[in-house]
C-alpha cells in the first residue's frame, strides 16, 4: 500500500471511572498517587471501548450526610479545644498556688532560723548590758560587744523595755510589785532584763519591777463581802469572835 493510500488514524478515549475489566475505580489523569501500580490510562483505552470526547464525567456528589459528618467533626474539634484550654488553665493555677506556697514556706523557714539564732545571743547581750552598767564595756570587749549587737540589728531584732514604760502583760514580765503615789497607772519602774522582738513578734519579754498607784493596792470593801467572810476587830482570823475575858 502506498503512502498516499493510508487511512486516517482513529483515536478513542475511554473516560469511564470504573474499569469494565477489573471493576476498580480509575484514578483521574494526573492524580494517580506515587508508587501506585499503574492502572488503565485514558491515553490507552481498552480495545473496543469508545466514548465521545464531548461526554463529561460527573464528580462526587455532596450529600446531606456528608455535610452533617463535617459539622460533627468541627464540633468535636471545638469541644476538644475547650477541654484542653480548661486543663491548661487548671495546671497554670495549680502551679501559681504551688509557687506561692513554696515562697511562703521558704520565708517561714528563714524567719525561724533567724529567731533561733538570735535567741542564742540573748544571754550574751545580757552580759554586755551588765558590763555597760558597771562601766566595764571598754577596749577590745567593747568592739566585740558592738559586733554582737550589730548582728542582732542585721537580723531585724530590736530591744525594748525602758524604765517608765506603762506595764503591758504582752511585753513585760512582772517579778516585783510596789505601790507609789507618783504613778497613775501600773508602770515598769525598773528593768531587770531587756526584751527583744523581731517585727511584730515578741521573742523574749522584758523582766521588770512594776509600781502601781497607792489607791489600787488596798482591797475594796465590796471584795470582802463577796468572799462571805467577816473580820472582827481584835481578831486575826476572819469570822471568829474573841473569847470574853
Strand partners of residue 193: 207
pLDDT on residue 48: 45
Where are the domains positioned within the chain?
Answer: 158-218
Q: Is the pLDDT of residue 158 over 70?
A: yes
What's the pLDDT tens digit per position in 117-139?
A: 999 999 999 999 999 988 888 88
Superfamily designation of domain 158-218: Head domain of nucleotide exchange factor GrpE (2.30.22.10)
The residue written with cell numbers 523557714 in the block is: 109
pLDDT on residue 20: 78
pTM (two decimals): 0.50
What's the pLDDT tens digit per position in 162-200?
A: 999 999 999 999 999 999 888 889 999 999 999 999 999
Higher pLDDT, 11 or 196: 196
Secondary structure tally for the chain: helices H, strands E? 3, 7
Amino acid at each position: 500500500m502506498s503512502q498516499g493510500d493510508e487511512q486516517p488514524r482513529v483515536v478513542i478515549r475511554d473516560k469511564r471511572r470504573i474499569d469494565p475489566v477489573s471493576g476498580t475505580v480509575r484514578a483521574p489523569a494526573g492524580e494517580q498517587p506515587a508508587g501506585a501500580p499503574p492502572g488503565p490510562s485514558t491515553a490507552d483505552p481498552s480495545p473496543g471501548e469508545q466514548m465521545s470526547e464531548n461526554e463529561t464525567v460527573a464528580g462526587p456528589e455532596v450529600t446531606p450526610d456528608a455535610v452533617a459528618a463535617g459539622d460533627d467533626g468541627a464540633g468535636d474539634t471545638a469541644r476538644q479545644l475547650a477541654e484542653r484550654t480548661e486543663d491548661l488553665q487548671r495546671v497554670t493555677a495549680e502551679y501559681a498556688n504551688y509557687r506561692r506556697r513554696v515562697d511562703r514556706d521558704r520565708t517561714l523557714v528563714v524567719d525561724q532560723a533567724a529567731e533561733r539564732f538570735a535567741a542564742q545571743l540573748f544571754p550574751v547581750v545580757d552580759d554586755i548590758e551588765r558590763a555597760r552598767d558597771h562601766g566595764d564595756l571598754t577596749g577590745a570587749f567593747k568592739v566585740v560587744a558592738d559586733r554582737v549587737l550589730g548582728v542582732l540589728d542585721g537580723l531585724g531584732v530590736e530591744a525594748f523595755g525602758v524604765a517608765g514604760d506603762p506595764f503591758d502583760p504582752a511585753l513585760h514580765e512582772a517579778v516585783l510589785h510596789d505601790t507609789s503615789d507618783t504613778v497613775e497607772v501600773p508602770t515598769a519602774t525598773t528593768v531587770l532584763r531587756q526584751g527583744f522582738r523581731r517585727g511584730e513578734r515578741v521573742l523574749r519579754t522584758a523582766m521588770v519591777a512594776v509600781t502601781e498607784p497607792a489607791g489600787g493596792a488596798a482591797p475594796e470593801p465590796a471584795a470582802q463581802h463577796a468572799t462571805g467572810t467577816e473580820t472582827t476587830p481584835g481578831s486575826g482570823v476572819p469570822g471568829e469572835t474573841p473569847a470574853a475575858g
